[in-house]
Structure 1
Amino acid sequence: MATISVAVPRKGRPLEAVLERLAARTGAQALADDIISTLRYEKAITKGSQQPDRPVYERLADYSDHRDPTEPEYTLLRDSRGGLPRRIVFDSVTVRAGDHDVHLVGREEPFRALRKHEFALGFDSADLVLEEVVGLEADALTDIADVNDRIDPHDTDVRVVTGLGDTVYHTLLATPELADGPLDRSFVADYEGPLCISPRYERLVEAVLGTRAAEGVEFCYPADAETEEEAIADAGLGVYVTVTGSTARDHGLVLGQRLFPSETVLLENRNEVTDAEAQVKALFDVAATELPAGQ
């Protein structure tokens, strides 16, 4: 039985989306639930909202004290939060899927691992693809289906295969005083002034607005102790990922146009995909009704 390695994020919403999709196609729901609950518990400890019952190395040993590759392994990393706490994150697990074993391997940035030809398949946030390789054009990029058309084939062999549907949106937000009409790309095109965004997202925001609309804006960023919503309220206009928008409204902000879906995507390095990887790719890509669990 062939084993196909697939790069996945080590934690967070994108990893959960991969585990849920794999569980739906293979019947490994108990495994997915176990990994997700473990990582949520460890995240709560890192954030200080949960008190651990054992030291971190004892928890890590308990989680990973086995030799069966179909049981999850975890590892320890330094979190970027204040004090740089140690955080337990996902490392690897093997899932039986029909004629293949799918070996999920945790990486900090799976997209970059595919770019370096370390994997043929992987999952990462569409945001990183936009931020790193999507070309900037005058017209806006509005849909994941159009991402590959914006990737220079001389830049990378990695392409987007499909999204996993765990969709939240990069959304225009503004104060009521500024947004006295429709809050959309045309509003930004006529606007000159500060536009608050998350650090590192300049290219992403230019891509989803279109360079024509982005002319005249000055990117600014939240201060260290400031939330994105607070910073946008101070700047007047911003772009931030929203789910329901309730937190933005709590800060007195108006929700405008959804610019682009922030979604976990299946990626392939076209120069590395063999017939075996193509079959595993189909495991994630086809509609759930087309592939019974375990096949």
Structure 2
Amino acid sequence: MTGSDGLDLQELRAIVARRRGARSYTHLLDRIAAHLDAHDGFVSWSGGKDSTTVVDLVRQVDRTVPVVNFDSGLQYPETLAYIDDLAERWQLNFHVIHAEPSLLSVLIAGGGFDHAAPDRQLAGRLADTMINIPAAAAHARFGNGSMWGVRAEESTARKVLYRAHLATETTGAQAMSRVEARRQLGGTVRRKNGTVTYGPIWDWQRAHVWEYLAGRGIEPNPLYDKMARLGVPQKQIRVDSIIDGAFLSGGQMAWLQKGWPTLFDQLVEVLPRLPEWT
């Protein structure tokens, strides 16, 4: 990955990571081990930089931990190839759980992307179909625990989520300093259904993630480089589902048409209104 000024960003990040050394994340390996001992479970992997970082951290603790990709049925071909290749090279205990129906099927059935089709009220919420039901299936197979690459920096909602759960975790731990409480208890999300999720990199900044991957010699998903070359702003790059309602107005379809014209045309055949977002 090369910057606009010709600098090799991957090499620069690797230098910074080597200066930090493994000591910057060794405590996370201990917390991952404790989480697995207490809750078992799986690692959620989208193929993005954050979840790839977590998968690499976990495999340093236990290479047999199930790694699960939740496939919406509408993922970039580069992401699918990246995940398959890395899963094989790392010899991961890799599993794919498909959304049923797929995201594309849901979008077609809803009628919202076709002026000629009637709008239909679909049974169930999209979040249940894409997230909650597949996650429940993974927990049923692998246990109540899970780990993910969700970071507080990414959105206000995620920041609030982590802060609220940290407040709960630190009840009765007033003797801890703020720094120690975040280090030992931060990143844990306990849900009413009994599942417990730990985000090892919950308080990392974006630059820290890139430095970690470079320091470990891990090439990121090639989509990051391709989208950057297309002109997509860093904060808008998403490597999972091709269509995300939260980003349609931000030019997501224009980038798709520019970078994947054949794929875009194929989608327009079944979702005729897509060009309205270019």
TM-score, normalization: structure 1?
Answer: 0.24
TM-score, normalization: structure 2?
Answer: 0.25
Q: Whose strand fraction is larger, Structure 1's or Structure 2's?
A: 1
